[in-house]
Structure 1
Amino acid sequence: MKDKIYAFRQELQTLGYCQTIISNYPKYASHFLVFFQETDAEIDDSHIKSYQKYLQQKTSKTSGEKLSESHIYSQLLGIKMYFEYLERIHKIKRNPFTLKLKNPRNEVREVLTQEQIKILYEHCKTGEEKMILHLCYGCGLRRSEAVNLNKKDIHIEKKLLFVRQGKGKKRRVIPLNKTLTADFKLFLGYQINTQEIAFLTNKQYKRMSGNTMHLIFKALLKKAKIKDISLHHLRHSIATHLLENDMSIEMVRDFLGHSRLSTTQIYTKINNLKMK
């Protein structure tokens, strides 16, 4: 099993998937197989459905809460892609994954109001809290993009932030306003004596993980007494706010790093906004 999981990881890397998928999807497939103690050829659709029910009832080790729909979707998608890979290389005769997956991210998401964003900023007590808001809301970065951001990717003099490898290995450049530029400059000044190249670091001065970012944000939400949302909601919120303030849909698409305009339209609830 280990050899197949390793080969699956190599396949994802070759196809150009982001590091989060390369790291997590083989792990999800491995957990699934260990759970049932079955070989690939013995798995059928009943195993898939049973595992879905298990995930829906499972609680997170860190938060003690039930797994989010988005996380369950990611785990099942990783398992699905693993069996698709085995079928493609003729290691199994038929893909047992017949369950239809519905991506919760394609559904209309709630957004924070601009007033709620202001309240979040007011409750920031540490530089890390403010930087997470700046990156995921002010710059519209995905969590993985924020984690992979390096100090050299922020050009204070030019007032630009470079996303070197976004989703699908796409690059983009994000202009910074005066507030972001000043705060980034101040934050970088505190890090001048650290050797770590990452922009966001943990208490050990190593690159901050996505999970640590999530926990810091959850604590900030609790302090601000704002409903429990994910970091991805910040990206969705800034996109919606930009559209509400008459930025063109094409500019928002470039800001978010989407390949297709249709993705931006779904993502920003464009049908619910009165556009010029």
Structure 2
Amino acid sequence: MEDIIFNFRKELQNLGYSKNAVNEYPKFVKKLLHYSKENPQKIKPKHIANYHRYLQEKPKTRGIGKLSEAYIKSQLLAIKLFFEYLERTQQINKNPFLLKVKTPQNKTRATLTVEEIKILYASCQNQLETTIIHLCYGCGLRRTEVQNLNIKDIHFSKKLLFIRKGKGKKRRVIPLTKSITKDLKKYYVESFQYRKKDQDSFLITPDGNRLLGNSIYNQFKKISKRNLLLKQQKICLHSLRHSIATHLLENDMSVEMVRDFLGHDQLKTTQIYTKINHLKLKQ
């Protein structure tokens, strides 16, 4: 069984799935197999249906309540891909995944106003915090993109930032404003005092290691809690990406340009972020 799971992981890598999917999807498959106590070749539709019911009733490991619809959908997608892979490679005769899973409704994401963004910047107490806000708002990066950003990805002289492997391994180039370029360079110079010679990461910890996603998020929460106005709102790091998209549209940037700026494959994805409807798109 371990060999099958390992080969499935390699298949996900070859197909260009994100690093998170490559790491998590095999684990989700293992959970199904552990729950059903069956080998992959013996899994039937009833096993998957039973596991789906189990997930719907399962309480969260942390916090109160049950597992979210989005998390359950991720597990089922992993299972679906796994059995499609087994069928495609003729390791099973028939795909047992017959579930029709509804897409979870998108939650309305908080959008900060331009004034609230200014308050957020004013709440920063060091260059690292300012840089995080620049990358997540000014450049519209995802948390994983901020984490994976390397020194070579920022061209200070040309005022360009390169995303080498965005979601779905999509590449894009982001133009930097003069003020953002100045602040990013300032952070880079300040980080020399604890930067290791072989460390490629742009954002680093005081120990000289790559600053990871959870730490980036915690830094953001620390900044947002310093102001009562922001503290009262339910905002997350992704709210900054949502906010910059909205502000760009409000300043008459085309939907197509916002899509490219965010690194989306389809316009309908950008539409979700920016709260615009089909009528406005036609106009």
Is the shorter-chain TM-score for this pair beyond 0.5, marking a shared fold?
yes
State the match for 1:208 in structure 2. Answer: 211
Contact persistence 1:149–1:198 (CA under 8 A): yes
Output aligned runs, 1:105-124, within 5 Å.
105=106, 108-124=108-124
Could you say if the C-alpha distance between residues 44 and 23 of structure 1 is closer, same or farther in structure 2, counting changes exceeding 3 Å? closer
CA deviation string 1:134-170 (max 9, x = no partner): 1111101122211111011111111111111212222
Q: How far apart, in 2, do the equivalents of 1:229 and 1:76 lie? A: 28
Which residue number in structure 2 is paired with residue 190 of structure 1? 190
Percent of aligned pairs sharing the same letter: 51
* Unaligned ranges ≥5, structure 1: none
Task: Select 1:238's aligned residue among 220, 235, 244.
Answer: 244
- Helix, strand or coil for the counterpart of 2:141? coil
Distance 1:234 1:168 in 2: 21
Contact 2:55-2:72 at 8 Å conserved across structures: no
Distance in 1, Cα, partners of 2:64 & 2:212: 20
Q: Distance in 1 between matches of 2:246 and 2:35?
A: 41
Counterpart of 2:226 (choices 223, 226, 230) is 223
Larger radius of gyration between Structure 1 and Structure 2: 2
Question: Does 2:92 match 1:89?
Answer: no
Alignment of 1:243-254 (within 5 A): 243-254=249-260
- Provide the TM-score with structure 2 as the length reference: 0.83
Query: CA separation in 2, counterparts of 1:221 and 1:65?
Result: 24
Structure 1 residue matching 2:161: 3-state secondary structure: strand
CA deviation vs aligned residue, 1:11-65 (integer Å, no higher than 9, x gap): 01100112222122222322343355443324331112212331xx2133xxx46
Task: Return 264-273 or 204-213, whichever deviates more.
Answer: 264-273
**Aligned-pair CA distance for 1:253:** 1.5
Q: What do you get for the CA RMSD once the two structures are aligned?
A: 2.6
Answering whether residue 54 of structure 2 is matched by residue 50 of structure 1, we say yes
* TM-score for the superposition, normalised by structure 1: 0.85
Residue in 2 that maps onto 1:59: 61
Alpha-carbon offset, residue 101 of structure 1: 3.8
- Give, as a single letter, the amino acid of the residue that structure 2 aligns with 1:248: S
Q: Are the aligned partners of 1:9 and 1:22 in contact in 2 as well (CA < 8 Å)?
A: yes
What residue is the counterpart of 2:168 in the other structure?
168
C-alpha distance in structure 2 between counterparts of 1:79 and 1:234, whole Å: 32
The number of residues matched between the two structures is 270
Corresponding residue to 1:263 among 259, 269, 275: 269
CA contact (8 A) 1:142 1:235 kept: yes
Measured in 1, the distance between the counterparts of 2:256 and 2:241 equals 16
Deviation at 1:185, TM superposition (A): 0.7
In structure 2, distance between residues paired with 1:261 and 1:179: 30
Query: Matched residues in 2 for 1:257 and 1:239: separation?
Result: 11
Structure 2 match to 1:8: 8
2: distance between equivalents of 1:36 and 1:204? 44
| Alignment-mate amino acid for residue 60 of structure 2 | K
- Name the CA shift for 1:214/1:52 in 2 (closer, same or farther; >3 Å): farther
In structure 1, distance between residues paired with 2:277 and 2:147: 32
